[in-house]
Amino acid sequence: MIDTLKNTRNLPDSALQELLESTDAALAQRLKDTAREVCLKVKGPEVLIRGLIEWSNVCRNDCLYCGIRRSREGVVRYTLTPEQILQCCDRAWNDGVPTFVLQGGENPAAAKSLIPTVREIRERYPSAAITLSLGELPFELYAALKEAGANRYLLRHETANPEHYASLHPAGMHLESRLACIRELKRLGYETGMGMMVGSPGQTTRNLVEDLRLMQEVSPHMIGIGPFIPQEGTPFENYPAGSAETTLRLLAIMRLMFPEANIPATTALATLLPGGKQIGILAGANVIMNVYTPITERKKYDLYKGKTDV
Ligand code: SAH
């Protein structure tokens, strides 16, 4: 098994499942070490720091897992003003962080109003990367945001299995539409990210292998994954959180499958596992997101319980 780790792409489904489920701690460690080795060789020693700006928690969707879902009560809704966004970018830039990630609830009208702000950020920082993560938007809007200067987009597919997808989302949301968006973003020339939650309710190891196969097919530039963490006041509040260990093994497998991809060690991982961002780097991730959301709004971007902001 160990000899074949570097050939993860060609492993059969059964071997991938075994890597994810094995109780052999030495094998799991070897997997992470091999991923780290490949990461150092292919991506070099640098850990890339991104500046995360949680732009708005207003959302039209009602995803069953999410703490900013439309119907969750008690969420104080906010949307950063253009001035606040630019201040966040300035702070990040002055810290030496040249990539701004604007993330928020899915809200096409408000996303449209971001076009001039994106243009302004691009003018101020011609060399910065501007990453958006604003959900499923009309294709013309993706194109207009790209034209204004955005160059990367994160849109997790959440799960590659259509039935599982349907069980995590309200009627009217479909895996096919999400995948159509991901393909369109790639076509428009965005560096495109996808990924899934690990351990979301009803997920099986078989589903995780389906996620890996889907990503092999789409070939994303970036892959973001994190454990599911229940949030109070959502339909999934009483489900157990996903496993940090499985998340780490997936990070390692993804590094071996997609050596060139930019893969963050995410906040959700760090929320479950103290030191999780650093431990994720040791398992093959090469990106860390620093939060630049104004302190006054941070707690309101309440995706899951206990979300850490370091
Ligand atoms: N509206 C954007 C951004 C969503 S929030 C979009 O649709 O892409 C960013 C990510 O947080 C989601 O893609 C999801 O994978 C993750 N997330 C949401 N709720 C979560 C929870 N309870 N536990 C772990 N991750 C969660």
DSSP state of 98: -
Q: Annotate 130-190 with DSSP letters as a single string.
A: EEEE--S--HHHHHHHHHHT--EEE---B-S-HHHHHHHS-TT--HHHHHHHHHHHHHTT-
What does the pLDDT read at residue 7? 82
- Which domain range does residue 90 map to? 54-243
Quick check: is 116 in a domain? yes
For residues 256 and 39, what is the distance between their CA atoms, to the nearest angstrom? Answer: 8
SS3 220: coil
Ligand 1 close to Cβ of residue 55 (< 6 A): no
Ligand 1 close to Cβ of residue 182 (< 6 A): no
For residues 40 and 46, what is the distance between their CA atoms, to the nearest angstrom? Answer: 8
Ligand 1 close to Cβ of residue 105 (< 6 A): yes
Quick check: is 88 in a domain? yes
Quick check: is 187 in a domain? yes
What does the pLDDT read at residue 54? 98
Q: How far is the CA of 1 from the centre of ligand 1 (A)?
A: 34
Ligand 1 close to Cβ of residue 51 (< 6 A): no
Q: Which CATH number do you get for residue 60?
A: 3.20.20.70
Phi-psi region of 289 (alpha: psi -120 to 50; beta: other; left: phi over 0): beta
For residue 303, give the nearest of 114, 75, 107, 52 by alpha carbon. Answer: 75
Residue with tokens 């991901």: 182
Structural domains of the chain, count: 1
Ligand 1 close to Cβ of residue 179 (< 6 A): no
What does the pLDDT read at residue 4? 74
What does the pLDDT read at residue 1? 60
**Nearest-atom index, ligand 1, CA of 103:** 3
Quick check: is 93 in a domain? yes
Chain centroid to CA 127: how far? 23
3-class SS shares of the chain: helix, strand, coil, % to 5: 45, 15, 40
Quick check: is 217 in a domain? yes
Q: How far is the CA of 304 from the centre of ligand 1 (A)?
A: 9
Ligand 1 close to Cβ of residue 158 (< 6 A): yes
Q: How far is the CA of 166 from the centre of ligand 1 (A)?
A: 15
For residues 104 and 117, what is the distance between their CA atoms, to the nearest angstrom? Answer: 15
Q: How far is the CA of 130 from the centre of ligand 1 (A)?
A: 19
Q: How far is the CA of 49 from the centre of ligand 1 (A)?
A: 20
**Nearest-atom index, ligand 1, CA of 136:** 7
Quick check: is 305 in a domain? no
Where b means 16+ CB within 10 Å and e means fewer, 23-39 reads eeeeebeebbebbbebb
What value does the CA radius of gyration of the chain take, rounded to a whole number of Å?
18
SS3 56: strand
Q: Give the count of alpha carbons within 13 A of 299, CB side only.
A: 4
Write out pLDDT tens, residues 27-76: 999 999 999 999 999 999 999 999 999 999 999 999 999 999 999 999 99
Quick check: is 19 in a domain? no
For residues 289 and 279, what is the distance between their CA atoms, to the nearest angstrom? Answer: 14
Quick check: is 108 in a domain? yes
pLDDT of the chain, 310 residues: tens digit per residue: 656 777 888 899 999 999 999 999 999 999 999 999 999 999 999 999 999 999 999 999 999 999 999 999 999 999 999 999 999 999 999 999 999 999 999 999 999 999 999 999 999 999 999 999 999 999 999 999 999 999 999 999 999 999 999 999 999 999 999 999 999 999 999 999 999 999 999 999 999 999 999 999 999 999 999 999 999 999 999 999 999 999 999 999 999 999 999 999 999 999 999 999 999 999 999 999 999 999 999 999 999 999 987 6
What does the pLDDT read at residue 119? 98
Number of CB atoms found within 10 A of residue 148's CB: 18
What does the pLDDT read at residue 6? 76
| Among 197, 232, 237, 307, residue to substitute to test ligand 1 (most atoms within 8 Å of Cβ) | 197
What does the pLDDT read at residue 85? 98
What does the pLDDT read at residue 3? 62
**Nearest-atom index, ligand 1, CA of 196:** 15
